[in-house]
């Protein structure tokens, strides 16, 4: 029966729990055919538990995390979908990776642990989804890229901003047979938001563990810039600092050293120019993308302002002069999906993770694209340290990276 005659969203509505499974058609849920383990069950790991169970073609069998609170959070998410069940709690990473009943591994641990965990996970041969950023530095990112390129199973990088409704609709308009704006010439991206939230052991307040802000948070935006530019970056120039957030903050004898603002300019080999503006001490969330081409202008945004009379939401505008149509729209997913996390991007990413396992080609980020997002972010941070332009080829050569 056609998938159009069924609804994942409505099937999750507790109003219909009274209907026996045998009487469900439009509200029928697929029997899960895959089992995953989640390694790292903090806020992002819990989101992966939630959307896996919502998506329905897979289920979560178990989790590993050394923090009891994270385990409890994952259990609570799971019980929303299976009140009588419980997640298996693995006592080690090795046990979680080598579980013979599991088809895939979702790695959502702190950034600095990724390279070690990937080396352990690939011993299993299971399908892998690795959260962004793939690593905190170029050498580890390159190691993971080499592993991912040779890996026989699915190796998917969690650059899920590609699936946010604003960016997904933009990709549909730009990356098709005919771009809505013609040949892209300039790219502008903005993120203004509140500071980093608390983490277990506060690892995200220290560049040693996070890779610093442009790697940890902004690799999403550099991935999108690379995607829309459609070419290799050739030079990066950036300015940034730690101006407000966590200045003087100490934890276990270490002082926070992460940037909270930056401006980054990237030149691409095809002549496209891009810039990114970051402020991490704004009292709201705001993201914006502007693409200017030789026959049009596209602007899309996402906003959460916390006000009582809120203007929170998403938007997209396309202007194409007086010889073509223009439009205004509000990109969104159904509310249940959009409220599941990251405006529904993680849910949509999981659809494609299962599709990848099924052998269906998808636009999920590859290990190579994950590496390039780190190259641009790392080069920008190097530019800030040195106060000068970083030439990408020279930078890669100096770091013994050949791609």
Residue-by-residue pLDDT tens, the chain, 403 positions: 344 445 677 777 778 888 888 888 888 877 899 999 999 999 999 999 999 999 999 999 999 999 999 999 999 999 999 989 999 999 999 999 999 999 999 999 999 999 999 999 999 999 999 999 999 999 999 999 999 999 999 999 999 999 999 999 999 999 987 899 999 999 999 999 999 999 999 999 999 999 999 999 999 999 999 999 999 999 999 999 999 999 999 999 999 999 999 999 999 999 999 999 999 999 999 999 999 999 999 999 999 999 999 999 999 999 998 889 999 999 999 999 999 999 999 999 999 999 999 999 999 999 999 999 999 999 999 999 999 999 999 999 999 999 9
d(CA 173, CA 312): 24
* Cα–Cα dist 161/12, whole Å: 24
pLDDT for the residue numbered 88 = 98
Q: Note every long-range contact of 181-184, with CB atoms under 8 Å and residues 24 or more positions apart, other chains counting.
A: 181/291, 181/292, 181/293, 181/294, 181/295, 181/296, 181/297, 181/298, 181/318, 181/320, 182/293, 182/294, 182/295, 182/296, 183/293, 183/294, 183/295, 184/228, 184/229, 184/230, 184/272, 184/291, 184/292, 184/293
For the chain, the structural domain boundaries read 3-159, 162-337+366-398
| Tokens standing for residue 255 | 């002082």
* Cα dihedral 130, 136, 137, 143 sign: negative
- Residue 6's pLDDT is 59
Report helix, strand or coil for 342: helix
Could you tell me which CATH class the domain 162-337+366-398 is placed in?
alpha beta
**Alpha carbon 33 to chain centroid distance?**
25
Residue 371 contacts residue 134 (beta carbons within 8 Å): yes
- Rounded to 5 degrees, φ, ψ at 21 are -55, -35
Q: State pTM to two decimals.
A: 0.95
CB 170 within 8 A of CB 289: yes
Domain 3-159, CATH number (from 3.40.50.150, 3.30.70.1450, 3.40.50.720, 3.20.20.70): 3.40.50.720
């Amino acid at each position: 029966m056609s998938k159009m005659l069924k609804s994942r969203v409505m099937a999750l509505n507790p109003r219909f729990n009274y209907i026996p499974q045998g009487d469900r058609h439009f509200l029928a849920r697929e029997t899960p055919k895959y089992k995953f383990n989640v390694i790292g069950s903090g806020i992002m790991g819990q989101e992966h538990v939630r959307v896996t169970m919502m998506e329905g073609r897979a289920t979560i069998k178990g989790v590993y995390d050394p923090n009891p609170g994270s385990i409890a959070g994952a259990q609570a998410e799971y019980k929303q979908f299976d009140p009588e069940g419980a997640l298996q709690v693995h006592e080690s990473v090795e046990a979680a990776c080598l579980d013979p009943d599991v088809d895939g591994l979702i790695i959502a641990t702190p950034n600095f642990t990724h390279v070690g965990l990937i080396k352990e996970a690939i011993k299993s041969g299971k399908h892998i989804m690795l959260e962004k950023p793939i690593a905190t530095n170029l050498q580890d990112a390159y190691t993971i890229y080499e592993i991912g390129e040779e890996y026989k199973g699915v190796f998917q990088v969690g650059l899920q901003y590609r699936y946010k409704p604003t960016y997904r609709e933009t990709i549909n308009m730009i990356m098709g047979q005919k771009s809505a704006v013609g040949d892209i010439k300039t790219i502008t991206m903005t993120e203004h938001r509140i500071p980093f939230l608390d983490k277990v052991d506060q690892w995200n307040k220290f560049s040693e563990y996070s890779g610093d802000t442009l790697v940890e948070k902004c690799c999403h935006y550099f991935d999108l810039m690379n995607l829309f530019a459609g070419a290799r970056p050739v030079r990066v120039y950036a300015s940034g600092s730690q101006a407000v957030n966590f200045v003087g903050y100490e934890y276990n004898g270490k002082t926070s050293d992460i940037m909270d603002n930056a401006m980054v300019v990237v030149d691409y080999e095809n002549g496209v120019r891009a810039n990114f503006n970051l402020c991490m001490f704004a009292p709201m969330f705001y993201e914006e993308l502007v693409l200017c081409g030789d026959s049009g202008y596209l602007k899309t945004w996402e906003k959460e302002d916390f006000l009582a009379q809120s203007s929170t939401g998403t938007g997209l505008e396309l202007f194409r002069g007086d010889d073509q149509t223009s439009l205004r729209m509000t990109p969104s997913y159904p509310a249940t999906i959009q409220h599941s996390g990251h405006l529904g991007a993680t849910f949509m990413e999981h659809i494609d993770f299962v599709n990848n396992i099924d052998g269906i080609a998808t636009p999920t980020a590859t290990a190579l694209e994950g590496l390039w997002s780190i190259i641009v972010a790392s080069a920008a941070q190097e530019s800030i340290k040195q106060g000068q332009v970083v030439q990408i080829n020279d930078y890669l050569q100096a770091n013994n990276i050949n791609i």
